[in-house]
Structure 1
Amino acid sequence: MEKKVKKQEYPRFLLIVVVIAALGGLLFGYDQGVMAGAINFIGHTFKMSSGLLGFISGCIPLGAMVGCLVAGWLADRIGRKIMMFVSAILFALSSLGCAVAPSVGILITARLLGGLGIGMVSTLVPLYIAEISPKQVRGKMVGGYQLAVAIGIFVVYIINALIANTHTLEWNQDVGWRMMFLAGIIPGLLFFVLLFVIPESPRYLISHGQADKGSKILKKVTFSDADAIDDEIGTIQKTVKEENNGKGFIGELLKKGTRMALFIAIMCSVFQQLTGVNAVGYYAPFIFKNAGAGTDAAMIETILIGLVKVIFVAFFMGLVDKLGRKRLLKWGGYGMAACMFLLSFSFNQDPITLGFNILIIILIISHTSLFEISWGGGTWILISEMFPNKIRGRASSIASCALWAATYAVTQFFPMMLDGLGSVWTFFIFGLFCVAMGLFIQIFFKETAGKSLEQIQEDSQN
């Protein structure tokens, strides 16, 4: 039986590297949350229809679809770290472009640029952390990325509320939403500067003939004894040698085990968005206003969602390596389904009384909590650990692209669904998707917790 790892035994260097890398999630979270505040005012400036407003929101996932594919292919060739530098630059430029945009065209261009950066970060950061973390705590460490996402959302919700609630409506419509975007330059530059501190992925180095460098990094981030470290390095080298003697990318991707891994990763990526959580996040103020809250109250209630995200991602990090991925994903799906069905029932009341307004807030918070303790970080963990070393970047990027395609579809069509179908049927449909994802995990997914990346790969071929 393996020795149980205590918190104080974590190598300091491992924690430093994971914290810095996970800051990429802060960019993701900030950009995901900034539209929740800006959307109330941005439409007035450019006289947008609901369809165009949905497209502006959807520009990030649209750009991210391209960004994650570019990052995956280049990361397997020139490294993970250099592509993270590129993503930080793109995010900072996007924030500046949105803040000064004189027209809808410039705003769309800046949002697409930010999407490229966010797509890169969402593929590279979980992958990088998975490759550098010991197997005993890999889920917790990759979960740090989701924690950074949640913190980014929480921070931007506070910034949105401070700007919106301390100025006049006219000022917010002209200037306020621009300030919300402009503040995003700070995390972008911070991420860029701190990346100089962390090393390249050890598994990337070993797979590209730099075994000595990779081995030194692995020894600095693990709490295993010297013999166990040497065995792990030997296993990585053996796996890399077998991959180099094998097929090309398409051939590797279509191998029996890898093919199933890709299927599961793509389905989980799509399902993560069909929970409806990002739709709720983008349009939370609208939803709360529809439930009877005023504009100021809706913004404050949105901050509460951000705080809940941070708290329950922290719970997720503590549970994912103990309870395993499968248990959390399955029951998280079923729990979110119950919340969506009850939301559908609540919005069916006419009029929506104070009691049902409170119930709606409780259900949205409960749905968010269940998402963050299961599918929020769980999906990124699965994507980062299911593929062979040789093609991990490219294969992960395909799954990430599917996730962003689903994100785009949801953010584009959610406001149209609310207008056309109404809240009742919109949330009922998301509830059905949540049931389907719980069943999918129960039927298809095999537990990966506690296994090395090479062992997961070996098990998938059997």
Structure 2
Amino acid sequence: MNPTIDKTGDQVSMKFVTLVSIVAALGGLLFGFDTAVVSGAIGFMQDRFELNEVQVGWAVSSLIVGCIAGAAASGVLSDKFGRKKVLIAAAILFIIGSIGSAVPDTFSGYIIARIIGGLGIGITSTLCPLYNAEIAPAKYRGRLVALNQFATVTGIFLVYFVNSGIAGYGNDAWDVSTAWRWMFGVGVLPGLLFLVLLFFVPESPRWLIKQGKPALALPILLRIHGEQLAKQEVMDIKASFNQESGSLRQLFKPGLRIALLVGVMLAILQQVTGINAIMYYAPRIFEETGAGTNASLIQTILVGLINFLFTILAVWLIDKVGRKALLLVGSASMTVCLAVIGIAFQTGYTSGPLVLIFILLYVASFAISLGPVVWVLLSEIFPNRIRGRATAIASMALWTADYVVSQSFPPMLSGAGPAVTFWIFGFMSLFTFIFTLRVVPETKGKTLEQIEALWSSPKTQALIPGKEVIPNGDTQFS
């Protein structure tokens, strides 16, 4: 593939950039595989280890505990050792976790292995989008970062069929003794592929410049942009570092505190609008409508298919219509869908296809908006020098919210009832729409350095309570 000349005259080597981005996005495949594989294994494990309900919940959520810890550590580690080295370590952790989850003779051994694997997933979920954002040209950054979410939903979708194929290989006794081990063990294959391919991708040029190694960064940028733009980008990146202290305290300075607010809030809102409650517990939700076990499983596969197809659409749209527009359309549609689902449960009108249709519309709305867009924004809105640590804070908030929702959904469903539960998610979707409309900026087509400068503009700072904009355009905070 020859270099592409875009409308602004920029020369972009899309072959190199796309191949590198695909390798990094494979971390998303591991993310999707490992979060979904337990859904097919948990029933057999419950029989094998004679688990009670609390232990079943711990078997599912122990991975998320590891993810929270991995996300928390990813920023400091990647800022110190580099994105590439830490991603290699994450791939090794994932492989260890996959093997360890497949071979234990005790439930505690399984839990330890899942937490180790979760450490790797927490790191990749934070650093893979960040790496792609740091290496991608501004015009194509959205779709290249969104490849990570596409890989994630691909992993989720594929694991449904992997689990089904393994479970159908033997009889019931074989399933309880062995099938679940193979389900986890298969994860070694994508883990090894990711590990090997990481040795062929370059380090992030922005991290290299941060380390005072522009001579190593320039050849990478030359392969992306061509000589003139590569040299200009090196100067822009170096200038952005000169304006930053590298301390997390910088995120609480005027303007940049809005970046932190946007990142953390979007991370939390992605989860508290209910997507993983539906993805983790789809069969149970459909059984609440009166569907039989087989029908509910088929409907669950439909949810996975819609999630997969509309994520492809999002990858195509994100650099065309922009991040903010997708968030607004998606959150508005999610609000309507969740309100209708709640009304259906409240009135008892659940015997027909209404609930299924609106759950599928809700998943489609999420898949073109909060699913990919939040990860794209988290990878691009923070300053260069502290991007790793700031992204880790937001990612840790996301995984914590995921844990809270996954743990609270079953008691909410049985206690408050499905109608109230879905209305709560609908209210959070409405809040997401309002928050996006008022606070979230459009970042489409801007370089990471331009986005960084955006937070210091008077228009952005006017969003902060207690701030006074003075005539020369500077700002002053009370």
TM-score greater than 0.5 by the shorter chain: yes
Structure 1 gap ranges (5+) = none
What corresponds to 1:15 in structure 2? Answer: 18
CA contact (8 A) 1:309 1:369 kept: yes
What corresponds to 2:472 in structure 1? Answer: none
What corresponds to 1:147 in structure 2? Answer: 150
Gap change, CA 1:425 and 1:169, over 3 Å in 2 = farther
Specify the SS of the correspondent of 2:199. Answer: helix
Specify the SS of the correspondent of 2:166. Answer: helix
Task: Find the aligned partners of 1:82 and 1:117 in 2 and give their Cα distance.
Answer: 13
Task: Find the aligned partners of 1:215 and 1:435 in 2 and give their Cα distance.
Answer: 45
Tell me the CA shift for residue 338 of structure 1.
1.6
Q: Report 1:260-271 matches (<5 A).
A: 260-271=258-269
- As a proportion of its length, which structure holds more helix? 1
1:447 paired with 2:458, answer no
Task: Find the aligned partners of 2:312 and 2:167 in 1 and give their Cα distance.
Answer: 29
CA contact (8 A) 1:11 1:220 kept: no
Task: Find the aligned partners of 2:140 and 2:152 in 1 and give their Cα distance.
Answer: 19
> Which digits, 9 at most, give the CA deviation of each residue in 1:317-347, with x for residues without a partner?
1111111111111221121122222222333
Gap change, CA 1:196 and 1:130, over 3 Å in 2 = same
> Which digits, 9 at most, give the CA deviation of each residue in 1:191-235, with x for residues without a partner?
00111110000111111111011111012123xx53333222211
Q: Report 1:183-332 matches (<5 A).
A: 183-222=186-225, 226-243=227-244, 247-332=245-330
Tell me the CA shift for residue 352 of structure 1.
4.2
Tell me the CA shift for residue 132 of structure 1.
0.1
> Which digits, 9 at most, give the CA deviation of each residue in 1:50-90, with x for residues without a partner?
33322322222211111012111010011000110111111
Q: Report 1:415-426 matches (<5 A).
A: 415-426=410-421
Gap change, CA 1:323 and 1:188, over 3 Å in 2 = same
CA contact (8 A) 1:57 1:412 kept: no
Task: Find the aligned partners of 1:49 and 1:450 in 2 and give their Cα distance.
Answer: 51
Q: 1:334 aligns with which of 329, 332, 335?
A: 332
Structure 2 gap ranges (5+) = 458-478
Gap change, CA 1:265 and 1:182, over 3 Å in 2 = same
Once the two structures are overlaid, the 10-residue window that deviates more, 117-126 or 101-110, is 101-110
CA contact (8 A) 1:157 1:302 kept: no
Task: Find the aligned partners of 1:163 and 1:368 in 2 and give their Cα distance.
Answer: 27
Tell me the CA shift for residue 114 of structure 1.
1.4
1:408 paired with 2:409, answer no
Q: 1:394 aligns with which of 371, 389, 403?
A: 389
Q: Report 1:370-381 matches (<5 A).
A: 370-381=365-376
Task: Find the aligned partners of 1:314 and 1:351 in 2 and give their Cα distance.
Answer: 32
Normalization by structure 1: what TM-score? 0.93
Tell me the CA shift for residue 301 of structure 1.
2.8
CA contact (8 A) 2:334 2:426 kept: yes
Tell me the CA shift for residue 405 of structure 1.
0.5
1:435 paired with 2:438, answer no
Letter in 1 for 2:435: F
What corresponds to 2:356 in structure 1? Answer: 361
Task: Find the aligned partners of 1:279 and 1:41 in 2 and give their Cα distance.
Answer: 22
Task: Find the aligned partners of 2:241 and 2:110 in 1 and give their Cα distance.
Answer: 44
Once the two structures are overlaid, the 10-residue window that deviates more, 35-44 or 419-428, is 35-44
Fraction of identical pairs, as percent = 42
Normalization by structure 2: what TM-score? 0.90
Specify the SS of the correspondent of 2:385. Answer: helix
Letter in 1 for 2:39: A
CA contact (8 A) 1:129 1:142 kept: yes
CA contact (8 A) 2:42 2:59 kept: no
Specify the SS of the correspondent of 1:448. Answer: coil
Letter in 1 for 2:229: A
Count of residue correspondences: 452
